[in-house]
Amino acid sequence: MRVDPTAKQAEASREQPPEAGDPEPADGKYWSPFSTRAARWSWGLMALFTVIYFVVAILTSKEFADVAATMIFGLPLGFILGIGLIISGLVITRIYLSKVEA
């Protein structure tokens, strides 16, 4: 049976649980996950998707019902925004996977 080495490492480390955490570095700064290219892509795309998501949510709330009801190409803006949210989610996911796995 094939065993994931990451899981093996996790298992090995779990067998010796630490009594205390890592000592604080001299400069007070730990290695940051944000220094990786993958993290920058993750959070950049996450910020973009968050903006799209909440803009769509706000525009389809009661306060902006008139805006959402505006007809564009024969369809209400609210419907177009909903489809746009789904498509942007798919595109952002694809970009993330292609950039992170590249």
Question: Which positions touch another protein (CB under 8 A)?
Answer: 1-7, 9-11, 13-14, 17-22, 24, 30-34, 36, 38-39, 42-43, 45-46, 49-50, 53-54, 56-58, 60-66, 68-69, 74-79, 82-83, 85-86, 89-90, 92-94, 96-97, 100-101
Closest by CA position to 42, among listed 101, 88, 102, 96 = 96
Looking at the Cβ atoms of 19 and 26, the one nearer to another protein is: 19
Structural element, H or E, at residue 92: helix 77-101
d(CA 1, CA 25): 40
3-state secondary structure of 76: strand
Q: How far is the CB of 26 from another protein (least distance, A)?
A: 13
Q: How far is the CB of 50 from another protein (least distance, A)?
A: 8
